[in-house]
């Protein structure tokens, strides 16, 4: 991208901000905004991308209220557990969210998942810029992408994969803190936990 510099006499701060946003949307880099690992990283990442308008506990409450308001739509078949059980589970800050399905939303945010943890992705005007300058919500284009920023995000993800900045949950080695048995992968760990619970 080429950088164009020009001077313009702006009468108001709002006009200056509008001009900055227009120029900013044309240039920048995708950055990873690290979210604390606290079993609410998915919710906190979404909250951060919404400029902290919604905190993790509030988002959990919104989800629980939505799910409990329509037990027919959010049935056990849909949720994988009874409606009330799911609501109690999602409100527990020691639990983290599950899979999501993509809808035809007009705006999107970007998250990166490393196998165990979610971080937020944002468009920043330059490396090291404050988070307050991040663009975090992107309009969906007619082709169902979020425009050129999507390519930049995919490049960042490929770079993270190349640098092995992820957890291979199928092949990682674990040792149980209770029985000290070593296991390989998430599937084997779950099976071992089920055997111990019996």
Q: For residue 32, what is the domain's CATH number?
A: 3.90.70.80
Same domain as 148, residue 172: no
Characterize the bridge pairing of strands 182-184 and 138-139.
unpaired
Mean of pLDDT over the chain: 77
Domain extent, residue 85, equals 13-162
The better pLDDT of the pair 53, 123 is held by: 123
- Judged against a pLDDT cut of 70, whether residue 118 lies above it is answered with yes
pLDDT in tens, 94-112: 776 555 445 567 888 898 8
Please tell me the pTM assigned to this model: 0.61
Q: Is residue 7 part of a domain?
A: no
Same domain as 83, residue 147: yes
Q: Is residue 24 part of a domain?
A: yes
CA 98 to mean position of chain CA atoms:
12
For 10-169, where are the alpha helices, taking DSSP H only?
A: 13-26, 41-49, 56-69, 76-79, 83-91, 148-162
Question: What gap in Å lies between CA 114 and CA 45, rounded to an integer?
Answer: 13
Same domain as 50, residue 35: yes
Per-residue pLDDT at 53:
59
Per-residue pLDDT at 9:
40
pLDDT in tens, 44-81: 888 888 876 567 788 888 888 988 999 998 888 888 88
Same domain as 194, residue 113: no
Q: Is residue 5 part of a domain?
A: no
Q: Is residue 197 part of a domain?
A: yes
Q: Is residue 130 part of a domain?
A: yes
- Judged against a pLDDT cut of 90, whether residue 20 lies above it is answered with no
Same domain as 176, residue 98: no
Q: Work out how many domains the chain is built from and give that number.
A: 2
Most confident region among 16-20, 23-27, 123-127 by mean pLDDT? 123-127
Q: Which residue has the tokens 């284009």?
A: 141
Q: Is residue 4 part of a domain?
A: no
Per-residue pLDDT at 65:
92
């Amino acid at each position: 991208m080429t950088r164009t510099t020009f001077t313009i006499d702006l009468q108001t701060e709002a006009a200056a901000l509008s001009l900055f946003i227009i120029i900013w949307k044309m240039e920048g880099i995708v950055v990873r905004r690290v979210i604390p690992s606290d079993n609410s990283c998915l919710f906190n990442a979404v909250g951060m991308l919404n400029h902290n308008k919604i905190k993790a506990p509030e988002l959990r409450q919104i989800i629980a209220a939505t799910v409990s308001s329509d037990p027919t739509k959010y049935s056990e078949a849909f949720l994988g557990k009874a409606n009330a059980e799911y609501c109690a589970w999602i409100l527990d800050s020691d639990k983290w969210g599950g899979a999501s399905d993509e809808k035809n939303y007009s705006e999107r945010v970007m998250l990166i998942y490393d196998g165990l943890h979610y971080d937020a992705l944002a468009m920043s005007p330059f490396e090291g810029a404050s988070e307050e300058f991040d663009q975090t919500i992107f309009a969906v284009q007619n082709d169902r992408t979020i425009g050129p920023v999507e390519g930049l995000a995919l490049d960042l993800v490929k770079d993270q994969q190349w640098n092995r900045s992820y957890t291979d949950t199928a092949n990682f080695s674990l040792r149980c803190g209770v029985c000290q048995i070593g296991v390989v992968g998430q599937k084997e760990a779950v099976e071992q936990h089920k055997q111990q619970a019996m």
